[in-house]
Amino acid sequence: MIKIGIIGCGAVVEKFHLPALRKIKGVSIEALVDKDIARVKELGRKFKIRAISDDYRKVLKNLDISLIALPNYLHAPVAIDCLKNGVNVFCEKPMAVNLKEAKKMVKTAKEKKKKLAVGMTRRYFKINQELKQKLDNGELGKIKSFEYEEGFIFSWPLKTTYVFDKQRAGGGVLMDMGSHVMDLIIWLWGKPTKIEYWDDGYNGVEANCQIKLRIGDIKGRIELSRNRTLTNMFKIAGQKEIIETPAGGIGEEKFETGIKKELEAFIKAITDKTDKFVSGKDVLESIKAIDCCYKYKKQIYEPWLKA
């Protein structure tokens, strides 16, 4: 039996992780941790989990895995602490708010010979896996360009305001949705060779961003939004064929199914001592790309904004 502890008990844990974990065999939820003790109690009652705490350090020694679903800025310090205490880590995305911290996490995992997984849920969706297969088989011919658009009026379940706080979230739509998208693009084609980036943040977190990039000969355009409805399509133009798939790749699947698959994969990797999961090292390039975007950011032109 693999023992897992959940650190950070926001709305997403309640809605997705806990229901998913309960459906996985061979795993027991050994601890729920949140600094808001009333919140942990509430979840403990709802999911019938007795071991609750407001301090993750107190529960680490019993755990095989700690699942970190804290505000982004805490991912790195808490993950590193868990790894140092001999606990494998499953960290929610974005793994870290910058490359420096991400590298430190990967290094610690290596030194401590522990596994560090990242919740790149979208890699587990059927549509994305089929897309990857198709591209790896060269079915579209040589890829010339792609366009990726994802944008809705923001509706992610939230218990707190942290996703809108630059300090704690590390960024806006690029850090949040973009960590998935960048990971997907790099998983499909490899690391970008050129990036141009625009967003609409002003000392706060951006609600919209536009990215122009090149991966070798492939030209790409990405547009993400938290307050506009975009086409929500991923268009790929190959020499043989042009295809369109739903952005995000969730399609008919339930989000919870993706969460279940990624957790199952990690639990299996620990039981079987394999490395068949999305690891910290696997996402370093995407974090590097996001770092680069923020560093060389240009402002989106909004003429109606000026007084």
Partner 1 sequence: MNLGLKLKNRTILITGASGFIGGRIVERLCQDYDCQVKALVHNLGHAARISRFKIELIKGDVLDKKLMKQITRGVDYVIHGAVGNTADIKLNRQITVEGTRNIMQASLKNRVKRIIYFSTMSVYGYPLPQRVNEESRYKKVPDDNYNQMKIEAEKVAREYKKKGLPLVILQPTQVYGPYSGAWTIWPITEIKNNQLLLVDGGQGLANPVYIDNLVEAVFLALFNKQALGETFIISDGQPITWERFYQAYQKMVTPKRLPDLNQFNRLRWQILSWLIKLAKKIGLPKPNFIINKIKPVYQRAQAVGSWSKNRQMFFSTKSKFEINKAKKLLGYSPRISFSQGMTLTKQWLKYSRLI
Q: Could you list the residues that contact partner 1 (CB under 8 A)? A: 153-156, 158, 160-161, 164-166, 172-173, 200-207, 226-230, 302-307
- DSSP string across 139-207: TT-SEEEEEEEEE-B-----SSSGGG-HHHHSSSHHHHHHHHHHHHHHHHH---SEEEEEE--SSS--S
Nearer to partner 1, 13 or 102 (CB): 13
The Cα–Cα gap between 44 and 219 comes to 49
Nearer to partner 1, 137 or 161 (CB): 161
Tokens representing 114 are 């522990």
Residue 180 CB, nearest approach to partner 1 (Å): 17
Residue 304 CB, nearest approach to partner 1 (Å): 4
Nearer to partner 1, 56 or 73 (CB): 73
Nearer to partner 1, 164 or 189 (CB): 164
Tokens representing 172 are 């806006």
The Cα–Cα gap between 62 and 59 comes to 6
Residue 204 CB, nearest approach to partner 1 (Å): 5
Q: Which residue has the tokens 């060269």?
A: 138
Nearer to partner 1, 81 or 165 (CB): 165
The Cα–Cα gap between 205 and 139 comes to 39
Residue 122 CB, nearest approach to partner 1 (Å): 21
User: Contact 163/110 with Cβ under 8 angstroms?
Assistant: no
Helix 173-189 crosses helix 284-295 at what angle (to 10 degrees)? 130
Nearer to partner 1, 115 or 180 (CB): 180
Residue 82 CB, nearest approach to partner 1 (Å): 29
- Among 54, 198, 170, 187, smallest CA distance to 133 is for 187
Residue 303 CB, nearest approach to partner 1 (Å): 5
